[in-house]
Amino acid sequence: MLIKKICFCLLLLQAKIILSQDQQNLEFNNEYFYFNFQSAYYPPHELGTNGSGFSQSFKHPNFQNIDPSLKIPVNYWGGIKLISYLGYYKNFKALNNPNSIFFKNNGIDIDLNIGLSPVIVSFKSTVSFTPISFLNLYASNELGIGWQAFGFKGVGVHIENGKYSNAVEFYSEITAGGRFQFDLNAIFQGEWTHIITVIGNDFTYLINPHAKKDQLWKYKADDGKNINGILIKPYALLAYKMPIPLNTIGILYEGKTQIGKERNISSWKNKGWGSDIFYHNISIVANFEIIKPLTLGLQFKLSTNPTYTSNTAGLADISKRIATGNSYFYYDSIGMSITYKY
C-alpha cells in the first residue's frame, strides 16, 4: 500500500489551483514558472480485519488461513511518498471585464509540468477556461513511465499471485472536467469574508498499453486495483481564506469509481474483489504563505477501502480477494506540498 494514493499529490495541486484562482482578485499573475515538492507519510493499519468500520493505525492486520507465500508482506513502518514537479503557467485574458464580478480575471489558463519520483517520470499539460467567474472547464493529458526501484513498482501489469512485471511500462491519463466555484467575498467585501465553495467532477481515461483486457495493473506505485477504462471523480471543497500567514483552511472531499463495462468485471455482488466499489476521501487542508512566492500546503487525509472476507483479505493477488460489500475508514496519510513561483 506504500504510495497507494500518489494521485493524492494531484489532488493537493488541484486544491492549490482552485484556491489561487479565487485569490486572483487580490493579485493576478499572468505568467510564471514554479517548482513543487510533495511528500506524504502513510501509516500502516489493520486493513479492515478487525470487524469494525474503522481500521486503526499501527496495528497488524489479522490475516486468516493464508499461505505465507501468498500473503501481503507485513508493513511495520508504513510508507513515504516523494515527488517533485517543475512547471510553467500562463494566463490569457478572455471575456475579461475588471469591473464585473462575473467576468473579472476570466480567461484561459495553460499549465505544463514535468514530474519526477523514485519510480515515475511524467509530463502533464492542462488547459482550462473560465467563461464566467463561477464556472471553470478544463482538460489535461498526462504521459508517464514507471519502473521498479527500492522494492516498489511505479507502473506494472499484474502477472499472478500478487507479482508484477519487471519491465519499464508507459501509461496515459486523459482528464476532462468542470467545477462551479464561488467566493462569498464577491458579495460581501472585506478581508475576512472569503468563504470559498467548489463543486466539480472529473472524467478520467486511464490506460496502460501493456495491460491486456481486464488485467489489473499498478499506477504510480499504488495497490494495483487499476483497469484500463474510465473513472468518474467527483470532488468538493469548503475553505476559508484569511489575511494571515495561515491564509487558507478547509475540508476537501474526493470520490472515485469505475464506470463502463470494466465496472462489472469483478463486482462484489458476484463475489469479486470489488471493481464497482466507490472510494471516498475526506481531507483537512491548510495553506501557509511563508513569503510572497513560497507557499506550504498541508493535508490530513481519511479514506475508505472495501472490506474483504477474513480468509481473502491478506491475499497479495487482489483478483482473488472477495469483497463483502462493506467498507471501512482509515487514516490514509499526512502530506505536505511546497511551491515556489518565480
Residue 322 lies in a domain: yes
| Separation of alpha carbons 97 and 92, rounded Å | 13
d(CA 136, CA 129): 6
pLDDT computed for residue 226 by the predictor:
96
- Torsion angles phi and psi, residue 116, rounded to 5: -140, 125
- Tell me the C-alpha distance between 288 and 313, whole Å: 40
**DSSP 3-state assignment of 18?**
helix
For residues 250 and 231, the answer to whether their CB atoms sit within 8 Å is no
Strands 54-55 and 323-341: parallel
Which residue segment(s) compose the domain that 160 sits in? 8-341
* Domain harbouring 49, CATH code: 2.40.160.40
For 100-140, how does the pLDDT look when each residue is reduced to its tens digit (9 = 90+)?
778 887 899 999 999 999 999 999 999 999 999 999 999 99
Q: What count of other Cβ atoms lies within 10 Å of the Cβ of residue 187?
A: 9
**Residues in the chain with pLDDT < 50?**
1-27
> How many CA atoms lie less than 13 Å away from 338 in the CB half-sphere?
8
Write out the three cell numbers for 305: 477501502
Residue 211 lies in a domain: yes
- 245 in a structural domain: yes
Q: What is the pLDDT of residue 23?
A: 41
Specify the number of domains making up the chain. 1
Residue 2 counted as domain residue: no
At 29 the pLDDT is: 65
Task: Give the separation between CA 91 and CA 23, rounded to whole angstroms.
Answer: 14
Q: Is residue 142 part of a domain?
A: yes
Q: Give the integer Cα–Cα distance in Å for 45 and 43.
A: 7
What Rg do the C-alpha atoms of the chain give, in angstroms?
Answer: 21
Kindly state whether residue 151 falls inside one of the protein's structural domains: yes
Q: What spatial distance separates the first Cα and last Cα of the chain, rounded to whole Å?
A: 35
Q: Are the beta carbons of 144 and 171 closer than 8 angstroms? A: yes
Strand 169-183 and strand 135-146: the pairing is antiparallel
Residue 1 domain-assigned (yes or no) = no
What pLDDT digit, counting tens, does each position of 194-208 carry?
Answer: 999 999 999 999 999
Residue 88 within any structural domain of the chain: yes
pTM of the model: 0.88
- Cross-strand partners of 241: 194, 248
- The number of helices, as runs of H, and strands, as runs of E, in the chain is 1, 18
What type of residue sits at position 88?
Y
Cell 487482489, located at residue: 318
